[in-house]
Structure 1
Amino acid sequence: MSGPFQQFPLGGGTTADLYLLRYDQDGGLRSPLAEREIKDRLAGVGDVFLFSHGWNNIFAQALDRYRDFVGGFIAQRQQFAIAVPPDYRPLLIGVIWPSTSFLMPWEAGPRIAADPEPDGAEARQVEEMLGLVTGSLGAEVDPEFVELVDGRSVIDSDAALRAAEIVLGALRAEPDPDDGSSPPTAKEFLTVWAALDGGGAAAAPADPDDFGVARGASPGLLVAGGGGFDPRNLLRAATVWKMKARAGGVGSNGVGPLVAHILRESGVRLHLVGHSFGAKVLLSALASAAPSRPARSMLLLQAAVNRWCFAADVAGTGRPGGYHSVPDLVDRPLLTTFSAFDDPLTKVFHLAMRGSQLGEPGVAAIGDPELYGALGGFGPAGVEGISARRLAAVPGRERYDLGGASRVIAVDGGVEIDGKPAIAGHGEVSNPATWWAMHALVRPD
């Protein structure tokens, strides 16, 4: 669509225009007229805010998230009379990319061999996940996989091993781009699967020395009270893999060229704001853009990327994190939130993203998020000397110090402000604490 989708009043008769850019699953631009108008307007604006949503592709809901954040940000500036640059003429861009139309898997916790919810919400989600996963399978294995898992709430270990082999081969065959770790073998993934199912391990299909109870887990909790696997948790893990990869592709192939153009062809201050997998979209965009000058700021809200992504040396492996260069591509310190109240990112992400434990120095037991934990769940790792941790600042009363040597500031959203957590869940990212963090990055002082 061409033209701004909405205008937000800023006071004094001025407005901020919001444009929406839609991308397909490979990063192909589907809004060329809107992008052309954005580029034509760059000479007349001072600040560009580029937003990317996370686990949500329903247009109306993505738009609501942008409206909520922008509206709250503007109201808070007026509430506290926050200073803006003298040439503050903002233009807003919201990315619309196809992630999924339901909640992030495990948003409400794993379903352990349970019947679908009475309203059919879970059944619809499982059907969508099945479609997403099988869309990446070759014709030679698709029928076999569907017969193994379709409509089932429990399968035996031999069937689970074969299903895992098929999905890993299609969606998790390459090293993880965030931390460089090798993918798990099918047997290793069965240990993860058992943990996702409820903390225990099911009967091994082969050598018990290769597959046993997850260390630190509760061996008494087994799927459906017996030795089987819930295929819905395989679909959930596979959907996470697919969406994580898609976010990277949308960022590199789609949003990256726009970021490169903005930073090469204009002098505007570019502010990047990403939530969940939307953080990966914007990290990939900036990393791939090879900009001629840095973006002004980056705010990552409950980022669903590996916590070692900024490290020069991931857990002593000698590998750099996939986004280790990004903090140097941003003028102001990169702010990234994390919260103990984000259940998907503190309880499940590290299980779904666990790689192979073979040949990995210092890899912790399954269930330990040290290597595979999410940035939005536990904060960054491997950035000692260039990072700082800070409790979420109280709006109107506390300030973030952006003048030090830290290139990454991890904002703890688990702290209470006015009697409730600053960030109370994975999707609770449009609130006074996050608006205040954004103001810290935008204000001229």
Structure 2
Amino acid sequence: MPFELVPGTSLHYYLVNFDALGNERNELDGTKMSQTLIEMLAKEPITDVFFISHGWLGDIPAARDQYRKWITAMAANTADIEKLKQVRPNFKPLLIGLHWPSLPWGNETLTAETEEAVVESIVSEYTERIADTEPARNALRTIVTEALEDVAPDQLSAETVEAYQVLNQEAGLGSEGEAASPGNDREPFDPETIYEETEIDEDSVPFDGSDGFILNRIFSPLRSLSYWKIKARARQFGEGGAFQLLSRLQQAAGEQTRFHLIGHSFGCIVVSASLAGLKGKGVLPRPVNSLSLIQGALSLWSYCADIPVAKGKPGYFYPFIADRKVTGPIITTQSEYDSAVRILYPLASGIVMSDPSFGDLPRYGGIGTFGIQGNGLEISNIDMLPCDRAYLFEPGKIYNLEASKYICRIPQHAGLGGAHSSINEPEVAHAVWSAAIGV
């Protein structure tokens, strides 16, 4: 299929599929979608490219479902589209969705009949996400075997603690604090603290061969490791495959073609890293025109010149701010109903969530809760607006949009994430379109 249809809308998008190493996968006919897009940009009068990344999703059907919902919401904002046509009379958008394997944890259905088969099923799932080594497999076997005996012990056994430490070492993740790259910007891994700070109603997730087993409290350090490993993958994919694709697209496009980057959750890391390039030293053919970070699962200090809780250190993504790689507005969203970023993010960092370190702001916290913060930035904290009100976005300025009024629906099977993925709202689309319109 040359493009992905969005039924009932005037828009469609192109899906570019990458593997876990950041290599683009071939289409069914053996071609690369990136080459199709490059040829299109060289031949057609595209005015605006929307470069979009999902967050934690496991497979292509899930990515397609997310993009279908996003683009349906965008297409419904006809007033914004008409305004874009007025600003750019020949408005012709190209929407590109990236897919990268990104599921940090899931509610695995256990269909195996024997205890041994259950153990090996979970070991197989999590070696893919964390580390596919023999020490990692053995550590996982210890953890799962003990969980089968008691999913809610008063404290972790010495054997389980040691197994978690081995797994952390095999994951290859750093613990370098607030200024480090996504995936390494955490405290030293402490499975006992994570276990003690995790509060899950064990009666609601009993082991009965269903999805609930992996949600039990004893697996909280495992979910934390998986979370940070996928966070690191988002940064690696963004600096590699996504950066290369964005560079090639800009090279192929006309000089007047505008580029707009949109990310959700870990996808905010992807699009930010695609601007920065490897270790922040990548050079794009030209700046992009807007950046939208929707319920970002990355540090609130990521973009500042000087982190208040780590004086003298800039945020990991500050270089692309300093180099003005975004000429238009940068917008973020926050929602109190997003428990994935509000609760799980600091918990995964291995800290006590109620311990703020800088006024009302914590040492570790996500953009989806606190917005972009820190020194050396021009920031405006405002409410997300209804669709009939206009934003007055200024170029080069950061806007943290309080969106709890709109990002608030908690789906029936949302699990621990709350409203984290409830972003398919017209008001969210209105903010993204408004950032793209520019000034």
Fold equivalence (TM over 0.5): yes
Is 1:346 aligned to residue 342 of structure 2? yes
The amino acid of 1:402's aligned partner reads F
> How is 1:326-345 mapped onto 2 (pairs within 5 angstroms)?
326-327=320-321, 328-345=324-341
Q: What residue number does 1:65 align with?
A: 66
8 A Cα contact 1:172 1:241, kept in partner: no
**1:5 corresponds to which residue?**
4
Identity of matched residues, %: 23
Aligned with 1:65: secondary structure?
A: helix
Query: How far apart in 2 are the matches of 1:263 and 1:125?
Result: 48
Match of 1:193 among 192, 195, 212: 195
Of Structure 1 and Structure 2, the greater helix share is in 2
State the partner residue of 1:75: 76
Match of 1:284 among 273, 292, 305: 273
For the 8 Å contact 1:310–1:380, the answer to whether it is kept is yes
* Matched AA of 1:437: A
**Is 1:393 aligned to 2:385, yes or no?**
yes
Q: Partners of 1:253 and 1:141 in 2: how far apart?
A: 26
Q: Which residue of 2 aligns with 1:302?
A: 295
Question: Which secondary structure does the structure 1 equivalent of 2:77 belong to?
Answer: helix
Contact persistence 2:188–2:350 (CA under 8 A):
no
**TM-score scaled to structure 2, two decimals?**
0.77
2:232 maps to a residue whose letter is: A
Q: What CA distance in whole angstroms lies between the structure 2 residues aligned with 1:62 and 1:316?
A: 36
CA contact (8 A) 2:179 2:314 kept: yes
Question: Once superposed, what is the RMSD of the aligned Cα atoms?
Answer: 3.6
Deviates more, 1:25-34 or 1:387-396: 25-34
User: Could you tell me which residue of structure 2 aligns to residue 216 of structure 1?
Assistant: none
Q: Distance in 2 between matches of 1:171 and 1:190?
A: 18
Partner of 1:29: 24
**TM-score w.r.t. length of structure 1:** 0.76
Task: Tell me the alpha carbon deviations over residues 44-101 of structure 1, each in whole angstroms, 9 at most, x when there is no partner.
Answer: 2111111111111232221122122212212212488433322311111111111129
Displacement after TM superposition at 1:269 (Å): 0.8
Answer yes or no: is 1:146 the counterpart of 2:141: yes
Contact 2:342/2:365 (8 A) holds in 1: yes
Structure 1 residues 337-376: aligned runs within 5 Å: 337-354=333-350, 364=356, 370-376=362-368
Q: 1:295 to 1:163 in 2, by over 3 A?
A: same
Deviation at 1:282, TM superposition (A): 1.1
Q: Which residue of 2 aligns with 1:170?
A: 170
Q: Hey, what does 2:415 align to over in structure 1?
A: none
Aligned residues: 386
State the Cα distance separating 1:127 from its structure 2 match. 8.0
State the distance in 2 between where 1:293 and 1:376 align: 28
Deviation at 1:148, TM superposition (A): 3.2
The Cα of 1:375 is off from its aligned counterpart by 0.9
Match of 1:435 among 395, 416, 429: 429
Q: Could you tell me how far apart the structure 2 residues matched to 1:428 and 1:437 are?
A: 15
User: 1:355 Cα deviation (Å)?
Assistant: 7.5
What is the rounded CA distance, in whole Å, between the counterparts of 1:65 and 1:125 in structure 2?
30
Q: Is the 8 A contact 1:338 1:375 kept in 2?
A: yes
Distance 1:243 1:129, change over 3 A: farther
SS, match of residue 82 in structure 1: helix
Farther-moved stretch of structure 1 (44-53 vs 188-197): 188-197
Deviation at 1:118, TM superposition (A): 11
Query: In structure 2, what residue type is equivalent to 1:139?
Result: E
2: CA distance, partners of 1:125 / 1:303:
34
1-structure distance, mates of 2:118, 2:381:
37
CA distance in structure 1 between the aligned counterparts of 2:109 and 2:267, rounded to whole angstroms: 29
* Unaligned residue ranges in structure 1 (runs of 5+): 106-115, 200-228, 357-362
Where structure 2 has 5 or more consecutive residues not aligned to the other structure, the ranges are 202-215, 411-417
Structure 2 residue aligned with 1:56: 57
Confirm or deny that 1:20 pairs with 2:15: yes
Q: Is the 8 A contact 2:53 2:264 kept in 1?
A: yes
CA contact (8 A) 1:171 1:241 kept: no
Q: 1:245 to 1:387 in 2, by over 3 A?
A: same
